[in-house]
């Protein structure tokens, strides 16, 4: 992992935002409905894994069945990882609406209300969502807070740091969900947390997680095999979002920007990026499809390298979604194809 620059979004305004939101929720009537306008209400039967009858589109806010365990997810990857575990026993309200980016999202009063009525809140963690824990605890002190990092046992995390020399920490890269190996820890942990909130359906959560884990193990195997014969093991990324994936599969990412897609390296840092990419025979740049690509394209032009799209699942696209858009494994398999192109893998 080679990080050229890290610029984190400082949560200076977060306490003020939370106070305003909490005050605003006092003006809202509590109808008992967990799905409020402004959030994305999702019934798991529409976004679960293949075989759940995915319709290919997300229902409008307030149209979920409302009959299951009320669960809130912060944004898309956690919806896609939790839904196949909960299936029709849970109803998910996703906080980030279509087009919103978790790097700079500001919560709304409706988000606070959704958290107030939920039992479990799945989110990434404080470095990507500095507002999440305080807002949830302030609006619903009894809510179960579940972060991705919580799913990784301490000894397992320490072992990965020993095994992979460039294994990052959360201050460097919060995109844990983009590593198939880490997702294998997260899914059974999600089942454990849902079982804690809803013991009556614990066996179903465990069985659903076990079925999902089989697909995740196959995904991990596909990644390992896919990177077994590459012209280079170095790739450029528009910002630091693939460090965990790279560490797990012995790859070297060169980040054009830091954790935030809005970070801008200096001219000296840009020169260092170009030099490193040339020295390591980099063959391509990976960037989010909807991200502002000016920076990565300038690097691409300088090195005469193509830009390949990589779906981080952070931003929910507007409009109807295909069945593949609602399947974590399918999205990650497509990402594997783009990574292989970026490193000229056979």
Q: Is the pTM of this model over 0.85?
A: no
The token pair at 332 is: 């990650």
**232-244 confidence digits (pLDDT tens):** 999 999 888 999 9
- Extract long-range pairs of 139-143: CB within 8 Å, 24+ residues apart: 139/22, 139/25, 139/112, 139/113, 139/115, 140/115, 140/116, 143/115, 143/118, 143/119
Measured distance CA(322)–CA(64) in Å, rounded: 19
Give me the pLDDT at residue 271, please.
Answer: 82
What domains lie within the chain, and their CATH numbers? 14-223 (3.40.50.1980), 230-342 (3.40.50.1980)
Residue with tokens 């996703």: 94
Measured distance CA(327)–CA(107) in Å, rounded: 26
Output the CA–CA distances (angstroms, integers) from residue 333 to 180, 215, 218, in the order listed: 10, 11, 10
Measured distance CA(256)–CA(239) in Å, rounded: 5
**115-165 confidence digits (pLDDT tens):** 999 999 999 988 889 899 999 999 999 999 999 989 998 898 888 888 887
Q: What is the average pLDDT across 50-67?
A: 35
Phi, psi of 16 (to 5 degrees): -65, -45
Is the pLDDT score of 27 beyond 50? no
pLDDT-based confidence at residue 104 (cuts at 50, 70, 90): confident
Point out the least confidently predicted range of 77-86, 196-205, 213-222, 250-259: 250-259
Give me the pLDDT at residue 20, please.
Answer: 37
Give me the pLDDT at residue 148, please.
Answer: 93
């Amino acid at each position: 992992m080679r990080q050229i620059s890290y610029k984190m979004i400082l949560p200076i305004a977060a306490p003020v935002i939370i106070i305003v939101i909490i005050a605003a929720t006092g003006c809202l009537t509590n109808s008992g409905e967990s799905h409020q306008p402004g959030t994305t209400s999702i019934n798991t039967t529409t976004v679960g894994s293949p075989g759940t009858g995915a319709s290919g589109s997300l229902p409008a806010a307030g149209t979920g069945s409302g009959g299951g365990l009320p669960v809130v997810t912060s944004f898309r990857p956690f919806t896609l990882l939790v839904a196949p575990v909960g299936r029709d026993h849970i109803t998910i309200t996703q906080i980030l609406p279509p087009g919103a980016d978790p790097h700079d999202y500001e919560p709304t009063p409706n988000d606070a209300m959704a958290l107030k009525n939920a039992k479990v809140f799945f989110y990434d963690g404080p470095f990507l969502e500095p507002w999440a824990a305080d807002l949830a605890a302030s609006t619903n002190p009894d809510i179960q807070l579940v972060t991705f990092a919580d799913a990784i046992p301490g000894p397992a995390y320490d072992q990965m740091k020993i095994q992979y020399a460039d294994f990052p920490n959360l201050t460097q890269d919060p995109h844990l969900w983009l590593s198939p190996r880490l997702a294998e820890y997260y899914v059974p942990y999600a089942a454990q947390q849902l079982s804690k909130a809803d013991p009556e359906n614990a066996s179903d959560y465990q069985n659903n997680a076990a079925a999902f884990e089989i697909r995740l193990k196959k995904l991990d195997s596909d990644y390992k095999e896919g990177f077994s014969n590459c012209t280079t093991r170095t790739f450029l990324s528009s910002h630091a979002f693939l460090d965990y994936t790279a560490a797990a599969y012995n790859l070297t990412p060169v980040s054009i920007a830091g954790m935030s897609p809005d970070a801008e390296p200096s001219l000296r840092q840009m020169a260092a990026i170009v030099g490193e990419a040339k020295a390591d025979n980099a063959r391509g740049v990976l960037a989010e499809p909807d991200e502002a690509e000016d920076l990565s394209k300038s690097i691409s032009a300088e090195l005469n390298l193509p830009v390949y799209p990589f779906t981080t699942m952070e931003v929910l696209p507007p409009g109807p979604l295909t069945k593949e858009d609602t399947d974590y494994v399918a999205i990650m398999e497509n990402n594997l194809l783009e990574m292989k192109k970026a490193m000229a893998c056979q």
